[in-house]
Every structure is written in structure tokens, then in C-alpha cells.
Amino acid sequence: MPKFQGVDYYDIDSLLSEEELLVRNTVREFVDENVIPIIEKHNRAGTFPMELVGKMAALGLFGSTLPAQYGCAEMNNVAYGLVMQELERGDSSVRSFASVQSALVMYPIFRYGSETQKDHWLPKLAKGEKIGCFGLTEPDYGSDPGGMITRAVETSDGYILNGAKMWITNGTLADVAVIWAKLDGVVHGFLVEKGTKGFSAPEMKGKHSLRASVTSELILEDVYIPKKNRLPGGSGLKLPLSCLSQARYGIAWGTVGAAMGCYETALNYAKTRIQFDKPIAAFQLIQMRLVHMVTEITKAQLLCLQLGRLKDAGKVRFQQISMAKRNNAYHALEIAREARSILGANGILDEYPVMRHSANLESVMTYEGTHEMHTLIVGEDITGIPAYT
């Protein structure tokens, strides 16, 4: 497998610091050597590559922006974004795993957890000794999570949880689930450990997308958890939404990775595939598509980088993250489809990564807020008029 040389039409690398470049190059090499050689096998079998968990942890890919006291790298958000970009160039499933572990499990524990919860969970999650999942979506409440049915009832020494979550990444693998449930009508976060009585996490089967990721239902039937398992640092829907902002930020970068992988494949293919006695790259119709691809990638890279700089300066607004997630997932999917078609029949084979990326990106368009929901978020932001209902 040749090493990926990157797509950098605007010399955006010159805007990155030495550490950011080293982080990017390290993860790029890691993905070339460890993810790409095995991912098709897992995609075909519909299994998550567990063998990568320890390796990703050793590199420090989980919770990498969190403080060193928890065994994390304490990197900035741009470096974190570059990690997500490279992981998703390998596969959206691998990036999803890292996103969930970092942004949807470690982040809420870090931000809303007690000192005991942080000291107990963060180092283990960083080391990959424990895996987490994030349960917000329910069968009947997706884009509108505020309507969730899952309930917590307080008892003398803890809580009883009842309800069902669906579409939960890493659910079956997870040692700890961050469950969002209503307590007296207000959303709270609860930590539910694997093996707790009444709690089960069957895997959902039959996915055509993110096949190398485990997606599960979470079933809670009179699940008792002690008081200390509630995240004490706040309540309300804004808590899970703040976690989603972290994850969406990573997705904005990740999708650029998938798009770069597809573009590179299409460009190389077009230069070597001969039809009508010429490489197909010599045809204007093919060039136009390749130019569109590289232009959209360049725009997406610039969106991400400035978004990351804003985030590092503590100035980012969630609506700005919505814009980048919306734009980048959309164009990555479009690029994957274009790449698929430039490869002709070969485009549907798993010898090339494009169909896998294309199928994966269908999920990425939907999860972490659908394309439409992000449109409505930015729409409300610029007009002042909410248009959700």
C-alpha cells in the first residue's frame, strides 16, 4: 500500500505548527500501516477492529485534548481535528470509535463528572482499557432528543432507569454507557456499567454503512444505579448537546479525510485508466469532476482550520460547528459518489476504498445531527427565526 501524500492545494500545511504537522503525519502513517490493510476485511465481516483499540490508545488518540493528569496528551483542537481527519481517511468506523470515546464519553465525564468519576474513568478510557458509549437517540426521538422517554426515578440511595436507546455506536462493546434520561422532567447524564442488572446492549445488524462499527440498542429495564453514578455537573438538554458539539467538530475534520482518500483514488485511477486511447483524466468531463473534488476539499480544509483556531481561542459558537459539519459531510459524500463513478465498474469493488467511504458517509450525513437539522441551526442563527417545528 503506497503511503498517502496528502491533498494540500493551498499550502494549508504552512498554517500548521510543527507539532500539529507531526501529529498529523504520525496518525497518517499509523492509518496507512494499521488501518487500511485490515479495514476491508472488517467491513466485509461487519466487525469492529478491536485490535486497533490498544494501538490507538498507545498513540494517545483517546481524549487527546484533555489534561495530562488523566494520562491524556493535552493537545489543541486543531491537532485533535487532524487526528480525526486521518482516522476517517482510513474508515469512518474507526473515527467514529475515537469520536465516541473522546468527545461523547470522556468529554462529558471530564466536563460534568465528579472528581471521583474523572479519576476513575478518564485514565482507563484514555488507555483503552475501558470502552464507552453515548446513549441519547431513542427509537422515537432522533432529531428531537428533547422528547426522550427514558426516565430516571430517584430512590433513597440511587436511581432506577427505564427506557430504550437506539443507534448507539460502541453500545455492545462498551464497559460504560453515558445514558441521558429525564429525572423529574429534566435531562441528566448517568453512567451505567456493563453487567448492571436489567441493562443490555444487543447489536443492530444489517447495516449497509459503517459496517466496521458496532451499533447497538440499549435496553434499560428497572436498572438500579447508585447515586454516585449520576453526572453531577449540570442538567438539561444542553449537556448532551455540548458533547455533540465536540463530536461534530471532529466529524467536520473527519469527513475531509474520507474525501481526500476518495479524491486521491479517483485521481490516480483517472491518470492510469485508458479509454479511447487516452487516460480518462485527459477528458474534460473527468477533469471537471476532479477539479470540483479538490476545490471542495480545499474549502472544507479551510473551514476546519479556522473553526479549530476559533475553538482553541475559546471563541467558537456551536452554530459555526454546525456549518462545518453540514458542509463537509455533504461534500465528502458527494466526492465519494463522484469518485465511485470515475472508477466505473471498479468503483463498486472493495479493492478500492471509495464505495466503502460513500456508504459510510451516508451515516455521517445523518448522525450527530442530520444535514437538515444543521441547516435549521444555522438558519435560526442568521435569521433569528427558529424553523424546527
Partner 1 sequence: MKIAVCINHVPDTETKIKVGADNVNIDKTGVNYMLSPYDEFAVEEALRIREKFTGDVTVLSLGGDAHKETLRKALAMGVEKAVLLKDDSVRDSNGVAKALAEELRQMSPDVILFGKQSIDYDNAQVGTLVAEMLGLPSVAVVVKLDIQEGKVVCDREIEGGHEIVETKLPAVFLAQKGLNEPRYPSLKGIMAAKSKPIEEKPAAPAEVQVQTIHLKKPPAKGSGKILSTDDSAVSELIRLLREEAKVI
Ligand X SMILES: Cc1cc2nc3c(=O)[nH]c(=O)nc-3n(C[C@H](O)[C@H](O)[C@H](O)COP(=O)(O)OP(=O)(O)OC[C@H]3O[C@@H](n4cnc5c(N)ncnc54)[C@H](O)[C@@H]3O)c2cc1C
Residues carrying an active site annotation: 368
The interaxial angle of helices 36-45 and 354-366, nearest 10 deg, is 70
CB of 80 to partner 1, least distance (A): 9
17 is a site residue for ligand X (CB under 6 A): no
Choose the contact partner of 136 out of ligand X, partner 1, none; CB within 5 to 8 A by kind.
ligand X
How does DSSP classify residue 215? E
Residues with Cβ within 8 Å of 66's Cβ and at least 6 positions away in sequence, in order, are 72, 74, 106, 107, 110, 122, 126
Quick one: which of 150, 265, 327, 363 contacts ligand X (CB under 6 A)?
A: 363
Residue 189 has phi, psi (to 5 degrees) of -100, 140
3 state SS of 238: helix
Binding mask 204-223 for ligand X (x = CB under 6 A): ------x----x--------
Q: Does 29 bind partner 1 (CB under 8 A)?
A: yes
* Beta strands in 238-339, from DSSP E residues, in sequence order: 274-275, 278-279
Minimal distance in Å, beta carbon 387 to ligand X?
A: 7
CB closer to ligand X out of 89 and 325: 325
Q: Which residues pair with 218 in a beta bridge?
A: 165
CB of 94 to partner 1, least distance (A): 15
C-beta of 28 vs 374, nearer to ligand X: 374
Does position 346 bind partner 1 by CB under 8 A?
Answer: no
Q: Which residue has the cell 453487567?
A: 195
Amino acid identity for residue 369 in this structure: G
Closer to partner 1 by CB, 5 or 383: give it.
5
CB 290 within 8 A of CB 267: yes
Nearer to ligand X, 76 or 169 (CB): 169
- 195 near partner 1 (CB under 8 A): no
Q: According to CB under 6 A, which residues from 114 to 173 bind ligand X? A: 134-137, 142-143, 167-169
Separation CA 161–CA 152 (nearest Å): 4
DSSP for 180-211 reads EEEETTEEEEEEEETT-TTEE-PBP---SSST
> CA 67, 70, 72: angle at the middle one, nearest 5?
60
Among ligand X, partner 1, none, partner that 100 touches (CB below 5 to 8 angstroms by kind)? ligand X
Sequence-separated (6 or more) residues with CB below 8 Å from residue 282: none
**Least CB distance to ligand X at residue 126 (A):** 19
Nearer to ligand X by Cβ, of 159 and 180: the residue is 180
Distance of CA 203 to the CA centre of its chain: 19
Cα–Cα dist 229/215, whole Å: 24
Q: Which residues bind ligand X (CB under 6 A)?
A: 100, 134-137, 142-143, 167-169, 210, 215, 363, 366-368, 370, 372-373, 376, 388
Q: Which residues bind partner 1 (CB under 8 A)?
A: 2-3, 5-6, 18-19, 21-23, 26, 29-30, 58-61, 64, 68, 72-75, 79, 83
